[in-house]
A and B are shown apart, each in its own frame.
Chain A
Amino acid sequence: MDSQGLKPRLATIWLGGCSGCHMSFLDMDERLIDLALRVDLCSSPLVDVKEFPNVDVTLVEGAVANEAHVHELEIVRARSRIVVAFGDCAVTGNVTAMRNAFGVEDVLTRAYRSTSAVVVGVPDGADGMVPRLLPRVRPLHELVKVDYFLQGCPPSADEIYTFLNELLEGRTPTIRRFG
């Protein structure tokens, strides 16, 4: 815990999703100002903290789609007291997992080899400049223990607020559970 540390520490990250769950987080609108007083947003794509810190709660948007996501998720799990699968991509794989019906090579060929007039290279991860895609997109709970499942594509701002508020008040949020 750092010097600001009396407030509960919240983090958000995105893996393979569309940012929509994060946008729904911002859709809390002016309630964000109230939230800023009550929690410390330690790490998030919205702030410039680049090293994932130890936190109380992390909202994880998106499915696990490439090797970097696996690594990220492991770090998040190790450093968060509570991990929340934030939105349907994290909960089930959702749209991100629709590519599972096809092989990785097919998907890359469709996106790069057969639609570009000029193919200088294909971003398959071979040169280490971009992460390799996993053969199958996976929901979070296939890789790590998930404490809460916040469903919806995206979950509504009201749901997010109610959920966080329950946690902040020290109650166990009662939400729809997956599985």
Chain B
Amino acid sequence: MTGRIEINPITRVEGHAKVTIDLDERGEVARARFHVLEFRGFEKLCEGRPFHEMPGIMARVCGICPVSHILASSKAGDRLLGIEVPPAAVLQRRLANYGQVLQSHALSFFHLSSPDLLLGMDADPRTRNLFGLVAQDPDFARRGIRLRQFGQRIIELVGGSRIHPSWSVPGGVARVLSSSACDELKGWLAEAYATVDIALTRLKQILDRHTEEVEHLGSFPSLFLGMVDDEGRLAYYDGRIRIVDAEGNVVADRLDPGRYAKYLDEASESWSFMKHAFYKPMGYPVGAYRVGPLARLNVATTAGTQRADRELREFKQRSSGAVCASFHYHLARLIEMLHAVEKIEELLDEPELKSHEIRAKAQLNRRQGIGAAEAPRGTLFHHYEVDDDGLIVRANLLIATLQNNAAINRAVEQAAKRFVRADGLQEGMLNRVEAAIRCFDPCLSCSTHALGQMPLSIEILDAAGTVVDRLARPDQV
């Protein structure tokens, strides 16, 4: 029998996707693919718009990490102006970026993945969600909600609103940060540290019970890519690109993000709206690489803050080379949250942060600008070309999740091969395939975006396309 199992839609991920699992004659998994089903075409729809509008338009690529898009976009705009951004604006942008990492990681861990991790992969799908967690462990759930709130509050106080703030612009930022705002934010720090600590302890405790998932939800060698500063420390706002291989050897270092097209490229396939990025010298598909929390911890020599460095040293001991288990994205995300809280504390003590000199003005001086930043899910590039009037003639976005596309596909296939059996199909098996995807915290809004709820039915077809078996989620029975 050959056949196909379809999981549609994938839930508790940001955006819409489905998985198809192809079976061979023996009913075993031959291939599995991750299909992204939504597309909005930002690279085209911005054509003809003034570059000053780009941060506002590009924020709408994604409501989860709008600040990352605003930053990459403003940085590309800074390049078009050819000016130096005032230090206070840089500090504000960094602060908002850490707020973003914090809120987005909190969302991924507490709201989306902890139902799998704490309630169980096989828990009742009707309650395997944030509200189920609220019922079972209200204190933990409330802490998660409040940690995300802290990240969002940073963005709100710095940028003026939580989602799509119109604040960072080519040349700097448009708002002065007040002392009272900084004081309020400092008041959140103790609770944030405590929550991250509790989450780290909880996650490490359950790792023992998840050895199968650690081994089979996307554990394989690959390249890893991320930005670091000149000392090899984590860098989210600016830095240079480093690539390491599975053994942890540095394959490339100090690459200029502004020249990304020299070493990174993309491939398109008909079965997904999400493209596949690859490292040019190795070609497609061999040059596939991973980005985001796991990749950043693998490329960084140190975190550069005390508490996160303690965790990072322990993390790096999990493998003699790079940590290759995608399940450890969760742990990496928590370590990054700890680092973000430390950096937020540091930044709030910078006197320059509240300076009124926040924006440099200039005419258009260049025809091409590239801006890059580390978004919660990985390295993000915005690339604009403008005409004499500053209107966009060409835009290219290289988005974090898209760079994980090949790895997500591999993880899905590995999980399907390990956990899915066509005879005796169970919901928990499929949830593990979805959990493999959740490790990466993919943002499909970014890489394209979302479709609504579709009925989940898993139909097993024979070679002639006839339905030989059908399985529905419990809520449908």
| A→B interface (CB under 8 Å) | 11, 13-24, 26-27, 29-30, 32-33, 36, 41, 43-53, 60, 62, 65-66, 68-69, 72-73, 76, 94-96, 98-99, 101-102, 106-108, 110-113, 115-124, 126-127, 129-131, 133, 153-154, 156-157
Residue in B112, B125, B268 with the greatest tally of chain A CB atoms within 10 Å: B268
Q: Is B275 a contact of A130 with CB atoms below 8 Å?
A: no
Expressed in whole angstroms, the minimum distance between the Cβ of B39 and any Cβ of chain A is 7
Q: Which residue of B lies closest to A22 (CB)?
A: B63
Q: Is A27 a contact of B162 with CB atoms below 8 Å?
A: yes
Q: Is A106 a contact of B44 with CB atoms below 8 Å?
A: yes
Q: Which residue of A lies closest to B48 (CB)?
A: A101
Q: Mark B257-268, 1 if CB is under 8 A from A, else 0.
A: 000000001111
Contact status of A14 and B125, CB under 8 A, knowing A116-B275, A121-B268, A127-B271: no
> Which residues of chain B have C-beta atoms less than 8 A from A48's C-beta?
11-12, 125-126, 128-129, 431, 473
B468: interface (CB < 8 Å)? no
A111–B268 Cα gap in the complex (Å)? 9
Residue in A11, A30, A111, A156 with the greatest tally of chain B CB atoms within 10 Å: A111
Q: Which residue of A lies closest to B451 (CB)?
A: A68
B205: interface (CB < 8 Å)? no
B391: interface (CB < 8 Å)? no
Residue in B11, B63, B162, B472 with the greatest tally of chain A CB atoms within 10 Å: B63
A47–B271 Cα gap in the complex (Å)? 26
> Which residues of chain A have C-beta atoms less than 8 A from B284's C-beta?
117-118
Q: Is B111 a contact of A20 with CB atoms below 8 Å?
A: no
A106–B39 Cα gap in the complex (Å)? 13
Expressed in whole angstroms, the minimum distance between the Cβ of A41 and any Cβ of chain B is 6
> Which residues of chain B have C-beta atoms less than 8 A from A41's C-beta?
131
A11–B11 Cα gap in the complex (Å)? 14
Kindly count the residue-residue contacts between A and B in the assembled complex, taking CB atoms under 8 Å apart: 256
A116–B55 Cα gap in the complex (Å)? 24
Partner of A45, one of B126, B152, B450: B450
Expressed in whole angstroms, the minimum distance between the Cβ of B161 and any Cβ of chain A is 8
Contact status of A13 and B452, CB under 8 A, knowing A27-B162, A111-B41: yes
Q: Which residue of A lies closest to B149 (CB)?
A: A29
> Which residues of chain B have C-beta atoms less than 8 A from A45's C-beta?
9, 11-14, 16, 450, 453
- Count B-side interface residues using an 8 Å CB cutoff: 79
B341: interface (CB < 8 Å)? no
> Which residues of chain A have C-beta atoms less than 8 A from B267's C-beta?
116-120
Q: Is A20 a contact of B60 with CB atoms below 8 Å?
A: yes
B218: interface (CB < 8 Å)? no
Residue in A19, A113, A127, A131 with the greatest tally of chain B CB atoms within 10 Å: A19
Expressed in whole angstroms, the minimum distance between the Cβ of B79 and any Cβ of chain A is 20
Q: Which residue of A lies closest to B46 (CB)?
A: A98
Q: Which residue of A lies closest to B135 (CB)?
A: A36
Q: Is B138 a contact of A33 with CB atoms below 8 Å?
A: yes
Residue in A16, A50, A101, A127 with the greatest tally of chain B CB atoms within 10 Å: A50
B454: interface (CB < 8 Å)? yes
Q: Is A20 a contact of B63 with CB atoms below 8 Å?
A: yes
Question: Which secondary structure dominates where chain B touches chain A?
Answer: loop
> Which residues of chain B have C-beta atoms less than 8 A from A157's C-beta?
162
Partner of B449, one of A17, A102, A110: A17
Residue in A98, A126, A154 with the greatest tally of chain B CB atoms within 10 Å: A98
Q: Is B449 a contact of A19 with CB atoms below 8 Å?
A: yes
Partner of B475, one of A49, A69, A113: A49
Expressed in whole angstroms, the minimum distance between the Cβ of B227 and any Cβ of chain A is 22
Contact status of A18 and B473, CB under 8 A, knowing A45-B11, A99-B40, A129-B270: no
Q: Is B146 a contact of A20 with CB atoms below 8 Å?
A: no
A144–B163 Cα gap in the complex (Å)? 28
16 A-B contact pairs sorted by A residue (CB < 8 Å): A15-B450, A16-B449, A19-B14, A20-B60, A20-B62, A20-B66, A32-B134, A46-B11, A48-B125, A53-B475, A72-B452, A72-B454, A102-B45, A119-B267, A121-B269, A131-B37
Q: Is B473 a contact of A49 with CB atoms below 8 Å?
A: yes
Partner of B268, one of A11, A36, A76, A122: A122
Q: Is B45 a contact of A47 with CB atoms below 8 Å?
A: no
> Which residues of chain B have C-beta atoms less than 8 A from A110's C-beta?
41, 43-44, 47
Q: Is B63 a contact of A47 with CB atoms below 8 Å?
A: no
Partner of B129, one of A22, A47, A119: A47
> Which residues of chain A have C-beta atoms less than 8 A from B63's C-beta?
17-24, 154
Q: Apart from A18-B449, A65-B40, A72-B454, list 4 A-B contacts with CB within 8 A.
A: A20-B164, A33-B141, A127-B271, A129-B271
Q: Is B39 a contact of A111 with CB atoms below 8 Å?
A: yes
B476: interface (CB < 8 Å)? yes
B15: interface (CB < 8 Å)? yes
Q: Is A50 a contact of B456 with CB atoms below 8 Å?
A: yes
